[in-house]
């Protein structure tokens, strides 16, 4: 792990650079220096993701409705390669990832790794706004959306 020479004087959280510490300090001061030039909403963090709301930009295929991944066995289509991979067990019967602690099985190693955190209690994704920790990046993203309003 990299060295973290910058420490918050309020909560003692450490950062690898001043660029990481600087936005974190705003959590404690309540400062909201970023302002949307369309609706004037203010934020502690950059408003780039907020601007997508106004531009109706959908940068990820999963949100566009496009389904470019097609099953060669039955012609079903999927939004992501992972969903297609998960579907393929219908045809092969193969379930490649077993938990080992409980009876759950998973179609991808990534899903198994995320599931194992339930057993280990590991929560590697920490919210910079409220300091809550989460087992998955998906749950952290949902928490950040709450903070962003």
CA 115 to centroid of chain Cα atoms = 15
CA distances 59 to 32, 63, 102, 149, Å, are 26, 8, 37, 20
Percent of the chain clearing pLDDT 90 (strictly above): 5
More confident residue, 22 or 81: 81
CATH number (domain holding residue 24):
3.30.160.60
Residue 128 domain flag: no
pLDDT digits (tens, 9 = 90+) for 39-95: 767 665 566 666 666 655 445 545 667 888 899 989 899 888 878 877 887 788 776
Region label for 83, one of left (φ > 0), alpha (ψ between -120 and 50) or beta (otherwise):
alpha
pLDDT (0 to 100) of residue 17: 77
Number of folded domains that form the chain:
2
Expressed as residue numbers, the domain containing 112 is 61-120
50, 2: one domain:
yes
Mean pLDDT, the chain, rounded, equals: 77
pLDDT (0 to 100) of residue 37: 65
């Amino acid at each position: 792990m990299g060295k973290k020479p910058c420490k918050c004087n309020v909560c003692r959280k450490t950062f690898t650079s001043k660029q990481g510490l600087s936005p974190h300090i705003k959590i404690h001061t309540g400062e909201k220096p970023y302002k949307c030039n369309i609706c004037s909403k203010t934020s502690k963090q950059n408003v780039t993701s907020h601007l997508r709301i106004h531009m109706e930009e959908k940068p990820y295929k999963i949100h566009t409705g496009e389904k470019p991944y097609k099953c060669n066995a039955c012609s079903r289509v999927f939004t992501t390669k992972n969903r297609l991979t998960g579907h393929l067990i219908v045809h092969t019967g193969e379930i490649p990832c077993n938990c080992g602690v409980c009876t759950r099985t998973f179609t991808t190693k990534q899903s198994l790794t995320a599931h194992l955190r339930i057993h280990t209690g590991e929560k590697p994704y920490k919210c910079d706004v409220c300091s809550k920790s989460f087992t998955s990046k998906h749950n952290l993203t949902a928490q950040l959306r709450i903070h962003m309003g």
